[in-house]
Every structure is written in structure tokens, then in C-alpha cells.
Amino acid sequence: MYLNLNIFLLFIGLSHVLGVFMTDKIEKHSVGKMFQSLGAEQKQPDSKKEELLEEVKPEDLTKKEFKEEASQQARKFDNVILGKSAQQLGEISVPQMQSKQRAIERVSTGVESFDELIEGGFEKGSVVLLVGAPGTGKTIFALQFMHYGIVAKKEPGIYITFEEDRESLYKHALVFGWDFQALEQKNLFRVLEYRPHQVEKLMKEGGGPIKDAINEIGAKRLVVDSITSYALLFHDEYVKRQSILEFFDLLHKWETTTIVISETPADVHLTKADSLGFLSDAIIALYYKKEGGKSTRVHCCEILKMRGTKHTNKVLAMGFEETGLKVYPDVEIF
């Protein structure tokens, strides 16, 4: 009986000393140092346990004192842990937590001074609608996006064309020093040409040949030139809308960052309920207009829509330089 009582007193003594030790540690250090993250466990080293065992002297305290001290230290330990944890949680605001969850990975366009207007680039995996009349620079913009991705970012790309052939694309690209033929030979780039009689088969196969090409070269960027030409292949309005919806669905499933070119005026895409503007993640409009009462025309661009992105609302000047398109953020048009 006496032996059992001594064992019980020794156990209470150990609980008291361990409680004091843990409380002292918590008061001296932040919760961040004791825990790598909330909920993480921090085990005491064996050496510390041995030191505590050597310091325990249960005969110096009565049984009642042991019980009272142990109870107080346990309550103090719980209060400190809960208080510190709540304080740490309070330091992380809800908007900050949501912001981290919504972090968007960006894909650079390669167009000089343009990325800074859209928080660093297009959202990865997004479908961007590039609209404008003939001669506004849509094809050059798309080719620049493609070439920069392959050369600077090691992101292979595929160019789907419904009207312009491979030789014509290569010819226009060489003006700016972009050798797509060399990139194609390295299996980093591919041009896919489709004609009217091939489109229906393409859709029935779920875009199979395109998906196969994406997998073969590991494509990360895609250009469709142009959706207007694609739409003209259909005579029935209902069939056309359904085919375009299916096509955009495929574009999102392929998980490439895609530019879709359209000759349809920008206002149509913004106001018409069944337009491509409602299917795309972003809309960029390119213009070639006269500035005020001047007789000369200027190239310019406008970002009409870009989901999850803070962007400029200005119509900005754009120029054709030796190495490609360049946007002038400080030159506002109109």
C-alpha cells in the first residue's frame, strides 16, 4: 500500500514539473517557433525528459499540493495554447487567406509593355478573344505570343488556321526575326491547317487531331485563326452556335493558354448575349483609327475584359517595331 502511494505521488510530481516546463516554454517563445503550423505536433527531446526526471523530488510536496498545482498548471497551459492560437489566427485576415487561395499563375504575352497592364500576363489556361478589323495586327500579336512562349519560356505551341497557309505565316513572321520553320523542325511548333470539308469531321472526333498534336509536342500555347472563318463554314445558325460552343469547351479542356482571333467588331462581343465574348475569359481589341481630327491613322489596343485581373481601361497606342508589337502605356488615344 505504501509503495503504491509513493508511485502515485511520483506521477503527480512529474505532471507538475512537466506542466511548469511547458508553460515556461510557451511564455518565452511564440507559437510560430513551437509549431511549424497550427495543429502540428512538437515532441520534447528525450534529453529534456531525463533532465526533468533528475529534478523531480516528490517528497518535498504533499499530495494535496501536488493535485492543486497540477490542476492549475493544466488550466494555465490550456489558456496559453488557446490564446496564442487565436491570436495567430487573428493575424491572418480572411481576405489574405482568400487571396492566397486565388493566386493566379500568369502567362507572359511577349508583347512589350503589355503584360504590365494585365498583372503580368494572361491567366494560365484561359481563352483570350483577340478582335479587330483586317490590318490591325491580330496575326502578328498571336505569332509574337507564340514565338515568345517557345523561345523565352520553353512552352511549345500550335497554330490552328482556317484560312492562312503555313508558308504565308512563316513569311510574315520572318519580318520580325521569328523563324517558325526552324522551331517546327525541332518539334516545338506546329501549324494545323483545316478546310471546310474537314471541320465537321474534326468536331465529331472531339478535336482528336488537335489533342494528339498537343500531347505530341507538349503544347502550352494555342492560337485559333480565325473563329470568324470557322463560323462561316456553317450555313445553319443553330448548328453554328452549337459547334462554336463545343469548340470553346474543347479549348478549355485542353488546358492550353489560347488566343482566338475574330474579325467581328468588339461591340458585338460585349453586347450580344450569345456572342464569343461570353464564352471567353478575356477580350482584347486592336484598332487602326484616326486620332481626333488628324488625317493619319494610328494602331492602338484596348482591354475590354479580363477575368480576375486588374487592367487599364484606356485605349493605348501600339506600334510595330523591328522585333514585334509594342504598347505605349503613356500614350492614350482618344
pLDDT digits (tens, 9 = 90+) for 32-60: 443 344 344 444 444 444 444 444 444 44
What is the C-alpha separation between 237 and 308, in angstroms, rounded?
Answer: 32
How confident is the model at residue 236, as a pLDDT? 85
| Mean of pLDDT values over 207-214 | 91
Lowest mean pLDDT: which of 117-126, 274-283, 315-324? Answer: 274-283
Specify the DSSP class assigned to residue 112: B
| Mean of pLDDT values over 197-218 | 85
How confident is the model at residue 274, as a pLDDT? 57
Q: Is the pLDDT of residue 75 over 70?
A: no
43-51 long-range contacts (CB < 8 A, ≥24 apart) are 48/21
Specify the DSSP class assigned to residue 45: P
What is the C-alpha separation between 250 and 248, in angstroms, rounded?
Answer: 5
Q: Is the pLDDT of residue 24 over 60?
A: no
How confident is the model at residue 157, as a pLDDT? 98
How confident is the model at residue 278, as a pLDDT? 86
What is the C-alpha separation between 54 and 45, in angstroms, rounded?
Answer: 15
How confident is the model at residue 119, as a pLDDT? 95
Task: Looking at 35-137, list the stretches that DSSP marks H as alpha helix, in order from N- to C-terminal side.
Answer: 46-55, 63-90, 94-101
| Mean of pLDDT values over 205-231 | 92
> Which of residues 295 and 313 earns the better pLDDT score?
313
What is the C-alpha separation between 309 and 306, in angstroms, rounded?
Answer: 6
| Mean of pLDDT values over 205-234 | 90
- Residue 307 in contact with residue 282, Cβ under 8 Å? yes
What is the C-alpha separation between 318 and 299, in angstroms, rounded?
Answer: 5
> Which of residues 39 and 110 earns the better pLDDT score?
110
Whether pTM > 0.75 for this model: the answer is no
**Average pLDDT along the chain:** 77
What is the C-alpha separation between 184 and 79, in angstroms, rounded?
Answer: 66
What are 156-206's pLDDT values in tens digits? 999 999 888 999 999 999 999 999 999 999 999 999 998 866 876 777 777
Domains, the chain, in order of start with CATH, read: 2-97 (no CATH), 106-332 (3.40.50.300)
Lowest mean pLDDT: which of 114-123, 249-258, 301-310, 325-334? Answer: 325-334
